Amino acid sequence: MIPLRNLSLLLVLLVWSQAMAQFGKNCELRQFKVNLIHPGLEYEMALGVNTTLDIKAGLQAALDPLLPDVYEELGFFPAVAAQYRYYYNFEARQRNRRTIYGNSANYIAPAVAAFFPDTRTINNELVKGVFGYAGVVTGLQRSYDSGFNFSVDAGAAYYLGNFEGPIYPVVNLSIGWIFSEKRWCVGR
């Protein structure tokens, strides 16, 4: 059992560290984006100096792991996806006098997604059910003063669902606009 005095001290230290972590961020505090390639919305919020949580919801092209030849065709499904991005080159971009506005940098990220397809026919059988993946991607994001934004990433993920869970490639492309933001970027 932790004494109340130690618990209070731990709580004060936790609140203080979170308050101090808000200073010196390279990342935008938050930004809402609309994605035109995969119609939907995206929200990215800063979690640390160089880290963000990026959440997307909308229609997304994806491999359908239930097809006999997965690479034969892409499906287009309603989806929710998230990435915990670590941007590793903010400082290098700033040294080279490049902007970091809108989290314009390169990143690595664990990535997860869930797809919600309608009932479909595969090999003359009705198939339904949610599937998803969990994996790792590396990518880049660039944003411009006009609000135009794009990001692309690639990696590999373990797919989960009503099938044997194999590892397949993951590629994400986002092209759209930032329509609301809370700026913090120190490297304009």
d(CA 56, CA 151): 12
66 CB-near residues (< 8 Å, 6+ apart)? 122, 127, 131, 161, 162, 163
Q: Which two tokens stand for residue 165?
A: 């869970």
Beta-carbon count within 10 A of 67 CB = 17
Please give the DSSP secondary-structure letter assigned to residue 3.
Answer: -
pTM for the full model? 0.79
106 CB-near residues (< 8 Å, 6+ apart)? 87, 88, 89, 138, 139, 140
More confident residue, 164 or 81: 81
> In degrees, to the nearest 5, what angle opens at C-alpha 109 toward C-alphas 106 and 113?
125
Domains, the chain, with CATH or none: 4-182 (2.40.160)
b/e map 68-88, b = 16+ CB within 10 Å = eebeeeebebebbbbbebbbe
Tell me what pLDDT residue 118 has: 81
> For the segment 142-178, what is each residue's pLDDT rounded down to a tens digit?
999 888 999 999 999 999 887 777 899 999 999 999 9
Taking a C-beta distance cutoff of 8 angstroms, is the pair 168, 63 a contact?
yes
Which residue carries 């990696």 as its tokens? Answer: 155
Q: What rounded mean pLDDT belongs to the chain?
A: 83
d(CA 57, CA 114): 10
> For the segment 31-62, what is each residue's pLDDT rounded down to a tens digit?
999 999 889 999 999 988 899 999 999 999 88
> For the segment 90-141, what is each residue's pLDDT rounded down to a tens digit?
889 889 988 888 889 999 999 999 999 887 776 777 777 788 999 999 999 9
